[in-house]
Structure 1
Amino acid sequence: MTRNLVKIRYNGIKYQVRAGATVLNALEEVGVSFIHGTSCRQGICGSCALIYRINEESELLGLLGCQHFVVDGMEIMSTPHIPSKERNFDPHDQNPIELLLQTYPEINNCNDCNACNTICPLEIDVNNVIKGFAKWELNEAIDMSSKCVACGLCSLRCPVNIMPENIIMQARGVFNIAIAQSMVPIPNKAKKELARETMELDRICLMSKESLTLQANSLRREILEGFIGYEKMDSEKDFQESD
């Protein structure tokens, strides 16, 4: 049986890849190698961020290789290392939002070019997130940026050197501390559950790399078996309905 193929370029090299595959899977199937983390393919780390154009169009877009599907005519480019280091910042400060703005004064330099929104692979309104921080609207800005995985593509494109992903991550720390400090006393049942989860986390932190890899692979198999089971149930249901 002949597979459907689409034509793409990756870093200037032509490939014919399987239609319907994610960019990461498609490139690996034709021999391109990538370094994998433990939670690879989960869409949570931003490590597989790539930039692309379609059929020589002028607009430059961003994608996560593990989430985005290949399209005929894609011109895909790997991203360089982005030297975007977090600055010293104390989220426990009495005025953390003011300190955040002082730490990242370039927030006020945004010129509304919208390059950050165009490149964001998760379609976050980065422009208004940054404006929200500048206006001290922390809740709204955190909510708008909740999907951010710190891939760094917005920093790569920003012409005034704003580092949105760092600002977002540190603002989340401020927000979480504020929530923790305002929480009502935790019930005993919740305390026991928290203690159990803390013990489990400590156990995981002490595991070797090999043990973590084995556990991660086992979890992947369980998830895959679950998906296969659901698909089987659905197909049996469709068969019964057709009868």
Structure 2
Amino acid sequence: MQNQEKEFVPIYIFGKRYDVPEELTIQKAMEFSGYQFIRSCGCRGGICGACLTEYRIPGDYRLKVVLACQSLIEPEMLITQSPFVPVNRAQYELERLKNQPAILGKIYPEIYRCLQCNTCTRVCPMEIEVMDYVAHAIRGDVAGAATLSFQCIQCGACASKCPAEISQPQVALLARRIYGRHVLSVPESLYQRIAEIENGQYDKTLEKLTQLSTEELMKVYTQREQEPQESQTWVPKFPHFPEESL
């Protein structure tokens, strides 16, 4: 079977034209064009937020914000990247913080400057309701801010466009830290698992895992059960996996 010839399309990276195969992601198209990623590249799976990219299509007034590893190229697109977005990173001791009213506003008072323009939500590549979790933070609702911001990958797109100069990712991170440390109760199963580890229950399993090849480890990894994201009652079918499979 003969290979079909690849169709090439023009794109512009930092203002310079390159012809690249269609159906590539922006990240792969940049590498095809000769760019070597030292920064602006991490997981390549849409999780780390390192490949924040902006582009515009000629004739379209909208500036689009995406992750280069997750977005396909479009003909004639004009591409630039934001390798790092400086944010206001407050200093605090989590153990001294409590879930008290206005705690987020005390540490990040700039949240009260929010104009409710919704720019942060529009540019979020994860489609998070950023303005909504900032509103929860303003009201002192730590749980609400933590829950709505759970999918944040800290790319900084919202902070880079905010006219009120709010560092939304850092506000969200603080909310999740307070929520996890001071609001959520510690499940009994966690103490049970810690005791099992300290008693050496998993030592033999770990020793066997270290002796597996990369291919064998990948097989064990892909066979694992994954807990559903929205589940309060999920119980694994094989609670002692991977012990019984080794």
Give your verdict on TM over 0.5.
yes
Moved over 3 A (4+): 36-39, 94-97, 184-189, 192-197
SS class of match (2:102): helix
Partner of 2:136: 132
Q: Output the CA distance in 1 between the equivalents of 2:99 and 2:77.
A: 47
> Contact (CA 8 Å) 2:46, 2:67: kept in 1 or not?
yes
Q: Output the CA distance in 2 between the equivalents of 1:152 and 1:59.
A: 19
C-alpha deviations, 1:85-127, integer Å up to 9, x for none? 4111233223456332111111111112222122111111111
C-alpha deviations, 1:158-214, integer Å up to 9, x for none? 11110001111121111110255x2243476522455599x99xx9xxxxxxxxxxx
The equivalences for 1:128-207 within 5 A come to 128-179=132-183, 182-186=185-189, 189-192=192-195, 195=198
Partner of 2:55: 52
The range that moved more, 89-98 or 109-118, is 89-98
Q: Output the CA distance in 2 between the equivalents of 1:15 and 1:189.
A: 57
1:28 aligned onto 2:31: yes
**1:137 CA drift (Å):** 2.4
**Amino acid paired to 1:84:** V
C-alpha deviations, 1:3-48, integer Å up to 9, x for none? 0222221111111222222111111012111126995213221111
Q: Output the CA distance in 2 between the equivalents of 1:96 and 1:143.
A: 17
Q: TM-score of the superposition, structure 1-length normalised?
A: 0.73
Partner of 1:83: 86
Q: Output the CA distance in 2 between the equivalents of 1:10 and 1:96.
A: 48
**Amino acid paired to 1:65:** A
> Contact (CA 8 Å) 2:40, 2:83: kept in 1 or not?
no
**1:151 CA drift (Å):** 0.4
C-alpha deviations, 1:45-92, integer Å up to 9, x for none? 111101111224221121111111112232111126322141112332
Partner of 2:239: none
Match of 1:70 among 73, 81, 98: 73
Partner of 1:108: 112
**Amino acid paired to 2:173:** M
The range that moved more, 147-156 or 185-194, is 185-194
Residue segments in structure 1 that go unaligned for 5+ positions in a row: 204-217, 227-243
Q: Output the CA distance in 1 between the equivalents of 2:183 and 2:70.
A: 32
Q: TM-score of the superposition, structure 2-length normalised?
A: 0.72
Identity %: 28
Count of residues in Structure 1 that have an aligned counterpart in Structure 2: 207
> Contact (CA 8 Å) 1:61, 1:118: kept in 2 or not?
no
Residue segments in structure 2 that go unaligned for 5+ positions in a row: 207-213, 223-246
1:94 aligned onto 2:116: no
Q: Output the CA distance in 2 between the equivalents of 1:106 and 1:12.
A: 35
Q: Output the CA distance in 2 between the equivalents of 1:194 and 1:37.
A: 38
Q: Which has the higher helix share?
A: 1
SS class of match (1:127): helix
Rate the CA distance shift 1:134–1:33 in 2: closer, same or farther, 3 A.
same
> Contact (CA 8 Å) 2:50, 2:83: kept in 1 or not?
no
Rate the CA distance shift 1:4–1:184 in 2: closer, same or farther, 3 A.
same
What is the CA RMSD across the aligned residues, in angstroms? Answer: 3.2
Rate the CA distance shift 1:89–1:6 in 2: closer, same or farther, 3 A.
same
Q: Output the CA distance in 2 between the equivalents of 1:196 and 1:7.
A: 61
**Amino acid paired to 2:138:** A
